[in-house]
Amino acid sequence: MRLTMNFDSGLASVQRQLAKLSGQQAKQAYAEGLNDAGFRVRREWQREMGDQFDRPTAYILKSVYVRKATPERLSVDIEPTYFGGKGVDPQKILQAQEFGGPRRDKRSEMALRRIGILPAGYQTAIPATPFPGSDDGRGNVRGSFLVRLLSYFQALGEQGYRANMTDRSKARLHKGTKGREGVRFFVAYGRLRGGPTQHLAPGIWAATGTQGGIVRPVLMFVRNATYEARISRERVADRADVQPYIERRIRYRIRKAVGE
């Protein structure tokens, strides 16, 4: 979202003060007023995400970045911004939420599909009751747990092949320790492929307890998800009352620059 300065309205009441400023001082006041509005829109955008999403992560909320106006560039941009790292580009996430459409595969899903575990036309979802230690409390799989799961199934790519679990590492995981029960992960396809696990829903499961007697879901295989349009820039702009707010803040910034 971009906010720009409208020089045709909102300044009549401060013409006397404006005449006392140099051109550069006036532009500085305009830029500061635009930036005030930009941060107001940012707060409303974050509020919109909080209203529409189920427990949005801090990563997504903080991704809404304000590219501030300057005296030389009298416009301010407010948009999700990717700063690099291992996270998914917030623009891709929010674009799907704004316009709707199919959810893109996660990197973990592409890895599981590459080695033949995840069937075509399916994606993954965390079960209603997460496997202990697997979720981040916001409905997502913890990154460290997901890496361990991919490592267990030898799904890490060429750059990470050294991190894939060896047979010896798997044996230790199966056995457990005094402070941690053993666990064995396995894939079930339910009625998709039949076999001895056809009574289980498609997904990755864990067997724990004595001789693996406790079986719990870890990551379910579900049909490719399609997002409904949920985020509305127009609703954000309306709630922020953008143009009147810009005019009020620019008038304030001009009076402050003059010292009145």
68, 28 Cβ separation under 8 angstroms: no
Q: Which of 236, 2, 232 is nearest to 95 (CA)?
A: 232
140, 132 Cβ separation under 8 angstroms: no
Q: Which of 111, 113, 119, 124 is nearest to 160 (CA)?
A: 111
Based on the domain organization, do 27 and 43 belong to the same domain?
A: yes
Based on the domain organization, do 187 and 232 belong to the same domain?
A: no
Q: Which residues contact 73 (CB under 8 A, 6 or more apart)?
A: none
* Residues 256, 20: Cα–Cα separation, whole Å: 12
Instruction: State the CB neighbour count (10 A cutoff) for residue 184.
Output: 15
pLDDT at 95: 63
Based on the domain organization, do 26 and 83 belong to the same domain?
A: yes
Based on the domain organization, do 116 and 181 belong to the same domain?
A: yes
Radius of gyration from C-alpha coordinates of the chain: 26
Q: Within the chain, how many helices (H) and strands (E) appear? A: 9, 9
Based on the domain organization, do 94 and 158 belong to the same domain?
A: no
Based on the domain organization, do 114 and 85 belong to the same domain?
A: no
Residue 214: which H helix or E strand, with range?
strand 214-223
Based on the domain organization, do 179 and 135 belong to the same domain?
A: yes
* Residues 190, 196: Cα–Cα separation, whole Å: 9
178, 211 Cβ separation under 8 angstroms: no
Task: State both tokens at 40.
Answer: 């107001």
What is the arrangement of strands in the sheet containing 75-80, beginning at the earlier edge strand?
Answer: 2-4, 75-80, 64-67
Q: Give mean pLDDT in consecutive 10-residue pieces for the chain, a chain of 260 residues.
A: 70 77 88 93 87 77 87 89 63 62 82 93 92 86 91 79 83 86 92 86 90 88 77 81 88 85
Based on the domain organization, do 177 and 198 belong to the same domain?
A: yes
Q: Which domain holds residue 15?
A: 2-100+228-258
pTM over 0.75: no
Q: Which residues contact 213 (CB under 8 A, 6 or more apart)?
A: 207
User: At 188, is the secondary structure helix, strand, or coil?
Assistant: strand
Based on the domain organization, do 112 and 56 belong to the same domain?
A: no
Based on the domain organization, do 210 and 246 belong to the same domain?
A: no
Total domains in the fold of the chain: 2
Based on the domain organization, do 44 and 61 belong to the same domain?
A: yes
pLDDT at 153: 93
Based on the domain organization, do 177 and 125 belong to the same domain?
A: yes
